[in-house]
Amino acid sequence: MITKNKLDELVKKYETADFISPDPISIPHNFKTKKDIEIAGFIASLVAYGSRKVFLKKLDELFKIAQNEPLNFILNFESKILGDFNYRFGKPADFAEIFKIMRTLYEKDGGLEELFKYGYTNLDNPSHFGRGSQCYRASAMDTVTGEGSPNELEQKSYENISSMVRMQKMFSVVTDYFYSRVDKNIGQGFYFMIPDPRKGGAMKRMCMYLRWMVRKPPVDFGIWDFMPAAELLIPLDVHVARVSREMGLLTRKQNDFKAVIELTENLKKFDPQDPSKYDFAIFGLGVDEVHS
């Protein structure tokens, strides 16, 4: 098992401004205002898969179409603006649907921060953004634990059940806002970019986006303050999972939401107030291995 001192050394080494330029977080760092940053970050997170070099090039292309004005682009969005813009699974129609729904979100419902905040703070109240929260609560518990009813789970001594439920429920409110407004004939690219947390996937890109918005600089932005960094989850991909297993931080073999919870809970033992800072350490350890 890796030590706290080693992890903290890696965080200190890699959580610097030098981390920004080759990372997808470089996209929102091009902007100054809060809403431009959160919109640019959300869009960047949608396509942050596959070759980093390729998707960063595609994002540069997209923001040229947006004339480097994310909020204005969303508020005045029309499908024809995109032309034939696409990226891998995401076809022009998929991107157009997402941006049209974001237009509604910013025109009528306060924007991305309000959507995430509502999902985080209203666990037991019906959501005007989507279906009732009790549905989310049950489905989130079933997905995370693979066990029985909410009542049965609440009787067990899972310290992290509350955090698990809250995070999956928040993600569900966000995705259902999009699902309830999408054209029923939309392709699978839309659902790849806006995945359903109830299916038990790692939700890597949404966890990453939330880290960007909540944690403080120098790399992350810290522009959302409705939740503490203590509740953020590690963005889990194949690389992070492999390195984490090598470090003895992850035993689960599947790279799913249960693995995210296991890894995050283990990292909380080193820093319960900011476990996701160790995302930089895990990244850095992989880099050090390559260059050793």
pLDDT tens digits in sequence order for the chain, 292 residues long: 799 999 999 999 999 999 998 899 999 999 999 999 999 999 999 999 999 999 999 999 999 999 999 999 999 999 999 999 999 999 999 999 999 999 999 999 999 999 999 999 886 654 555 443 333 333 444 444 444 333 333 333 334 556 777 888 899 999 999 999 999 999 999 999 999 999 999 999 999 999 999 999 999 999 999 999 999 999 999 999 999 999 999 999 999 999 999 999 999 999 999 999 999 999 888 765 644 4
Calculate the alpha carbon distances from 85 to 45, 51, 57, 189 in Å.
17, 17, 12, 13
| Pure H helices in the chain | 4-14, 34-46, 52-65, 70-75, 92-108, 112-121, 133-145, 150-154, 161-179, 188-193, 204-214, 238-246, 257-268, 278-291
Calculate the alpha carbon distances from 28 to 23, 167, 264 in Å.
11, 23, 25
CB-based contacts of 276, cutoff 8 Å, min separation 6: 211, 215, 229, 232, 233, 234, 235, 264, 267
Q: Tell me, letter by letter, the H, E, C secondary structure of 123-150.
A: CCCCCCCCCCHHHHHHHHHHHHHCCCCH
Q: Tell me how far apart the alpha carbons of residues 231 and 145 are, in angstroms, rounded to a whole number.
A: 18
Domain with 161 in it: 4-291
What is the domain count for the chain? 1
Which of 177, 168, 173 minimizes the C-alpha distance to 198? 168
Q: What is the DSSP letter of 257?
A: H
pTM of the model: 0.88
- Tokens standing for 285? 């350890």
